[in-house]
Amino acid sequence: MELSEKVYRIVRQIPEGRVLTYGDVARMTGIRSPRVVGIFLHRNPDPAKTPCHRVVNHIGKVSSGYAFGGAEVQKKKLIDEGVPFVKDRVNLRVSLWIR
């Protein structure tokens, strides 16, 4: 299985209202750099099936380069799912998905 498909498979499992960080996804898939996860998610061929908006950086910030509408769209999707923010960051204490 390709690494990108491993990333997409993990991201598809993130429940609504929860998030993972790029680093979490990297560790789960054996990828050394969280940036590689970001590259794969930027190229996500099916955002309806693979909810890449549920992946944030290590401090809970959304991506300024979110490929499917920008940071404000990503933030709105998360808020619509019930993900709480503190200032401009996801509250990882509440929303981090622990498998």
Give catalytic residue positions: 52
Give the number of other CB atoms < 10 A from CB of residue 30.
Answer: 8
Residue in this structure with the two tokens 């099916």, named with its chain if needed: 46
Helix boundaries (H) for the chain:
3-13, 22-29, 34-42, 71-80, 92-95
